[in-house]
Chains A and B, each alone.
Chain A
Amino acid sequence: MPTPTAHGRPDPETTTLARSRDGRPVADRGDTVCVIGAGASGLTAVKNLAEHGFGVDCYERETGVGGAWNWRHDRSPVYASTHLVSSRPFTQFPDFPMPDDWPDFPHHSQLLAYFERYADHFDLRRYVWFGTEVVRVEPAEDDRWDVTTRSTGGYGPERTSRYAAVLIANGHNWSPKLPRYEGLEQFRGEVMHASSYKDPAQLRGKRVLVVGAGNTGCDIAVEAAQQASRCWHSTRRGYWYAPKYVFGRPVDQVNDTLLALRVPLRVRQWFYHRTLRLTVGDLARFGLPKPDHRVYETHPIANSQLVYHVGHGTISPVPDVARFHPHSVELTDGRQIDPELVVFATGYLPRFEFLDAKILGDDEGVGRPRLWLNAFVPDHPTLAVAGLVQPDSGLFTLSHWQAVLFARLLRLRTTRPERAAAFAARVRSGAGERYSGPVKDSSRHWFEVGHADYLRALERALRDLEGK
């Protein structure tokens, strides 16, 4: 096993002059693994691969770690007031806890500090090439990969290196998903996606329409309630707005107490409905649409303030947008409203522009890869995607274990190839499996997983892999 070279840079003495398919020179990086992105999932991948003895080259297009959680980054979706929606125990890496005197729901700046400390504590920066973006990832012989990179600024030549494996951790919350509406192009008001929303000052004194009831949409609606002269909040359907606290405890911790007690889903749903009825009350009374589904069937929204502001009349809940007119917006119930600013908090779609979409099984190119465990690629045992999950809790624990499983799989490919082959068969047969109860069929829930279901599936995969 070659060791990582100093600071993760290719060692000229071990570099051979291989050629890529189209004849470009390729620097052979031996058994080194390439990780794309140094956000939460990329960092934990680097750490766990290095811990399993692999050399690692991590390419990060920005100049710092933290990915989406680094507000300085171009692609960061965080805004000034972003706080976690899952409480600390669910959010932190399983082997590197956040300080226990931090609040239950830390601020995004604390999260960035956490990632920077994680990188320093485990000495990860030496593996990361900052300011370098991945342009192409192409399969080479023997399940290896040619990765072409260049500086993010576009300076200098492209360079291609050959890796034993590639772990994609480029995040899925940076490429805005914009809805299409009739007449949107003619609309004279300001239109923005939530990805461009950074500060409440952008809303001050304006008539604002917020579209979308994800956690971001609800947060922005609450800020508009306090800053804007008028706020409409448009949702396609009714949702369950869970408060962040019930019984004085973070709501996810209460929920997991029931999970720990092995309470069945139906009973949990009943208990949840009951608790919401006691704490939040009947949402229809506030003018919010009645949810058309049971809790746990859409991605959970944790927001204590939305209903409060609806009750104060500072947020007007409205149905879906039907069409835009130059000076007004027509809603599906026929009403016309006249916002000056429309904020689309309509989510994001993953993008892998450096890779042929078919490799990930996304044959239609819509941005929905067909993977096993949302991570492993059929017919490409040395390629995986980390963090492509939308859990009902924090993501980082899931990414951590994905990276551990990938590292152990790579190790087994040399020590026990028959077990690695059995795993490959499992990847092929299980591609596309879901790890949650029934959820609404929308792109918002493409990657939805129940954290306990998903981790149990990963745990089984780890045990099968190692024959325990």
Chain B
Amino acid sequence: MSQHGAAGQRVRLVRDWEWARPVRPVRREVLSATPELEEGRPPLLFVPGFGHGAWAYAEHWLGHAAARGFGAHAVSLRGHGGSGPAPEATLRAYAHDVVQVAAGLPRRAVLVGHGAGALVVAHALARYPARAAVLVAPVLGGWATFGAAVRRNPLGTLPALFGGGLRLSRRQLFSRELPDADARRYAARLGRAARRAQWQLLAGADPEPAVGGPPVLVLGSPDDRVVPASVLTRAARRYGSAPLLFPGMGHDLMLDARWREPIDAILDWLVKEPTRDDRS
């Protein structure tokens, strides 16, 4: 796994708009599960994708990570879940939310982003030297991703072009293994991202290089009906690696029937990932 992040981009020292127009604070929902015994492992911060809230991780992954000795936290981006409303939010505001929560944790955190939350994490990595980053079924934006989404779900995708909500169907999000009642329950909880953030998914600027050279793991499913396998490969290549694949799962790996496999893989990777001191 790479320690360099997106290569070839320049570090920017003058951040005039960041300084002149800082992101406004908002109430942020953070759900946490802490291990019974503190084992000195880095805390995890889970970042949901567009439409999802911290609840998506609270279903299974938070508790499971805590049971394996990791402090686990999930944030709802502004305008999502239990966080304050933010109809005009941008990707910058979402990244700001992530960095604020990460910097508030007692130790250097691992950022885990799912779907468009992975793009938010990629932006946050330029602002916060994470211990490591995990991009789960990453939607890193661009017209290719949009094209794939239109082909698979034109009715749910096209309105987003005109400021409407991005609606993903149950069949895109979950495999058939997930009981229908669960799938309906989860789908009913989905909200929507702000218009400007949705547009930025198409035509926003690329994330700046990650600071601190964190190792990055990319994982997803070849049967994901939102993120094509080619996009997964491209995302992983950007961070100098190959994606870790979980066939037979839908886009929402943390809610799908076999949710345990990807989170165990992430935690195994974090346990094995050598510490900074060992690498030097």
Contacts and interface: CB of A to CB of B under 8 A. Distances in A.
A binds B: yes
Interface in B179-217: 211-213
A53 interface: yes
B155 interface: no
Contacts of A256: 16, 19-20
Contacts of B276: 50-51, 53
Contact of A455 (B10, B14, B127): B14
Nearest to A258: B20
B277 interface: yes
A100 B96 contact: yes
B71 interface: no
Dominant secondary structure of chain A at its interface with chain B: helix
B17 A260 contact: yes
Interface stretch (A35-43, A120-128, A145-153, A326-334): A120-128
A97 B280 contact: no
Given A3-B277, A455-B13, A459-B12, A121 B106 contact: yes
Nearest to A50: B276
B271 interface: no
Interface in B211-234: 211-213
Interface in A73-131: 88-90, 94-97, 99-101, 120-123
A253 B19 contact: yes
Dominant secondary structure of chain B at its interface with chain A: loop
Interface residues of A, number: 39
Given A53-B280, A95-B127, A99-B100, A462 B106 contact: no
B21 A257 contact: yes
Nearest to A393: B19
Contact of B108 (A121, A252, A254): A121
A100 B107 contact: no
Contacts of B14: 452, 455-456, 459
B17 A121 contact: no
Contacts of A393: 19
A303 B170 CA distance: 58
B122 to A, nearest CB: 15
A408 B80 CA distance: 40
A259 B20 CA distance: 9
Contacts of B129: 51, 95, 122
B190 to A, nearest CB: 27
B280 A257 contact: no
Contact of B22 (A51, A253, A254): A253
Contacts of B277: 3-4
A458 B10 contact: no
A121 B105 CA distance: 7
Given A253-B21, A253-B22, A96 B103 contact: yes
Which 7 residue pairs are nearest across A and B when measured between Cβ atoms? Answer: A53-B280, A260-B16, A100-B25, A256-B20, A257-B20, A455-B13, A459-B13
Interface of B: 10-25, 96, 99-100, 103-108, 127-129, 211-213, 276-280
Given A95-B211, A99-B103, A257-B21, 20 more contacts: A3-B277, A51-B213, A53-B280, A54-B280, A94-B127, A95-B212, A96-B103, A97-B99, A121-B103, A252-B19, A253-B20, A256-B16, A256-B19, A257-B20, A259-B20, A260-B16, A260-B17, A393-B19, A459-B14, A468-B10
